[in-house]
């Protein structure tokens, strides 16, 4: 009988199982604490309980996912990308972003993606299956274990990896609850961001959840004609419905919504798109996060030039739309936004903890939202990068 991922269990299920084996419920609670606070790499590393209990646990459960073919680090950017293997052999990618005082995990929620956005490598691979709650939590704990090895810990989690989180709603929300549970990982809710391409029923449902996580919507276009091309799900949930949902979310939660916008040269960086975006954003508590397109194999488009980005954002300034130009990280190792595909692309088989070292000593260039990164070359205002305040 194959072993089960132990992170699939909730606390009561684990404690009940331990009790059925004849051990105390307190021992089950101790295992739970160890799994989430110590992030052990295997069942044999679970501490604080009798050896006989560890043996029983090891016979029935395992800790997944595990590294499949290696780790690739871009130390100058503070990025580590991991190719992880799940119990059934399928592979996913997860990313650790390390800069300043932030340690952020970019987590996948599906194997592949059904949304089919043409500029996104994950979307071009197609959909394979949803990740379970335990597989989503397992990625977070994997990154926590990597950080513990160098005396650090996760500060933020962004559900922006492979897949559409709101098309795997139950498992995604279940994983978030575990991440923020004070008896689990105990990460602050405001340090968790969920990104969606605009699954309207999911946004409406999320607005009513007793969770104060942050919401990002991958918008990328402000007219249905263009967004139908860039985000095919727009044909099911067009912009009028999406912005009504965003407005309802803001009204119900009182929280700002991030609008994500990949800048594509000559496609969505036009005056018309900027003005349409400004019109739709008027009166809404939203903030635009723009990022230059990360190129992927087979992608016919190119990132916007500095001049076109300047012109686009100047129009947003005219209309008073708050915006941030995100600094792209990890593109050199196919770990940037839209580049994850769950393959061996760019993977080095020898793990290298020294990849952490390149950014450990640097000061966080952004302490508050809207503050410009300190490493911008002088005389290049159009290239000013501002960190995503959510990552």
Residue 263 DSSP SS3: strand
Catalytic: 120?
no
Catalytic residue chosen out of the listed positions 77, 93, 135, 260? 93
106 is catalytic: no
Active-site residue (options: 115, 117, 120, 337)? 337
Q: Which residues of 75-100 are buried (b: 16+ CB within 10 A; e: fewer)?
A: bebbbbbbbbbbbeebbbbbbbbbbb
Cβ pair 379, 365 in contact under 8 A: no
Cα 95 to Cα 334: distance, rounded to the nearest angstrom: 10
Spell out the residues 6+ positions from residue 262 whose beta carbon is closer than 8 angstroms to its own. Answer: 119, 218, 220, 268, 290, 291, 292, 293, 337, 338
Q: What gap in Å lies between CA 8 and CA 131, rounded to an integer?
A: 11
- Taking CA atoms, 121 is separated from 124, 134, 219, 299, in Å, by 5, 25, 17, 9
Which positions are annotated as active-site residues? 93, 337
């Amino acid at each position: 009988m194959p072993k089960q991922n132990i992170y699939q269990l909730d606390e009561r299920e684990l404690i009940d199982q331990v009790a059925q084996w004849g051990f105390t419920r307190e021992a089950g609670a101790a295992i739970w604490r160890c799994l989430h606070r110590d992030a052990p790499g295997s069942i044999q590393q679970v501490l604080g309980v009798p050896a006989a209990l560890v043996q029983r646990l090891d016979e029935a459960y395992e800790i997944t996912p595990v590294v499949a073919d290696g780790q690739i680090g871009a130390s100058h950017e503070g990025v580590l990308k991991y190719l992880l293997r799940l119990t059934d052999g399928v592979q996913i990618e997860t990313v650790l972003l390390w800069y300043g005082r932030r340690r952020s995990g970019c987590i996948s929620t599906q194997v592949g993606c059904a949304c089919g956005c043409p500029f996104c490598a994950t979307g071009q691979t197609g959909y394979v299956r949803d990740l379970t709650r335990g597989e989503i939590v397992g990625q977070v704990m994997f990154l926590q274990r990597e950080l513990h090895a160098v005396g650090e810990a996760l500060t933020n989690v962004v559900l922006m990896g492979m897949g559409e989180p709101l098309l795997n709603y139950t498992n995604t929300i279940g994983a978030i609850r575990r991440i923020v549970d004070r008896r689990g990982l105990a990460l602050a809710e405001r340090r968790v961001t969920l990104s969606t391409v605009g699954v309207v029923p999911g946004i409406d449902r999320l607005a009513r959840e007793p969770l104060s996580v942050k919401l990002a919507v991958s918008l990328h276009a402000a007219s249905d004609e263009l967004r139908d091309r860039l985000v095919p799900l727009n044909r099911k949930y067009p912009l009028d419905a999406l912005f009504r949902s965003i407005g309802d979310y803001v009204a119900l939660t009182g929280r700002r919504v991030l609008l994500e916008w990949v800048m594509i040269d000559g496609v969505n960086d036009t005056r018309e798109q900027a003005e349409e975006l400004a019109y739709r954003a008027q009166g809404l508590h939203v903030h635009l996060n723009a990022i230059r397109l990360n190129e992927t194999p087979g992608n016919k488009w190119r990132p916007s030039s500095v001049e076109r980005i300047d012109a686009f954002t100047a129009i947003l300034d005219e209309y008073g739309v708050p915006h941030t130009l995100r600094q792209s990280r990890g593109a050199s190792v196919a770990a940037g936004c839209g580049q994850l595909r769950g393959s061996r692309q760019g993977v080095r088989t020898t793990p290298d903890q020294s990849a952490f070292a390149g950014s450990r000593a640097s000061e966080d260039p952004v302490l508050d939202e809207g503050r410009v990164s300190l490493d911008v070359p002088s005389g290049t205002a159009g290239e000013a990068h501002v960190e995503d305040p959510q990552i």
